[in-house]
Amino acid sequence: MILLSKDQLASILPQRPPFVMIDALVADDPFSTETSFEILPSNILTHNGKATAALLVENIAQTAAAGAGYKALQGNGPVLVGFIGAIKNLEIHSLPEVGAQLKTITRQVNAVFNVSIVEGTVYRDDQLLASCEMKIFLQEPKS
């Protein structure tokens, strides 16, 4: 099931091609978000036929952003822009090859005012590729 396609994600993500690192929002609930992404040969965050660590980190961040934006849309609220403030406990287990289909899951651990803490994991099939915790600052809407 797809909640939002790549074209629809443009309404909630500040990133634009070629820097979009998710293809679809496939699941969302009050605490977690799941996206899918196929690594294409033209992706700017690949090197020698493999994803870079930066691609995996950006994929996690965009998954968190897609979840926050989708929740805002469902509640008729403004979609806020988020900025990564810190990355903690980053573990890269394997860099997938071009053509790999990724499944990324973020889970909100805590939220205080305009700061969210999320845990993110990236999988290819059932293989854990990367995980980390991110502190994300949400920009207040301009009045």
Task: Please measure the distance between the N-terminal and C-terminal CA atoms of the chain and give it in whole angstroms.
Answer: 36
Say what the pTM is.
0.95
Percent of the chain with pLDDT over 70: 99
Instruction: Give the rounded distance of the alpha carbon of 130 from its chain centre.
Output: 12
CA–CA dist 53, 21 (Å, integer): 12
Structural domains of the chain, ranges and CATH numbers in brackets: 6-138 (3.10.129.10)
Give residue-wise pLDDT tens across range 86-142: 999 999 999 999 999 999 999 999 999 889 999 999 999 999 999 999 999 988 776
Residue 68: in which H helix or E strand, if any?
helix 53-74
Model pLDDT, residue 142:
67
Model pLDDT, residue 84:
94
CA dihedral for 54, 36, 115, 92, sign (positive or negative)? negative
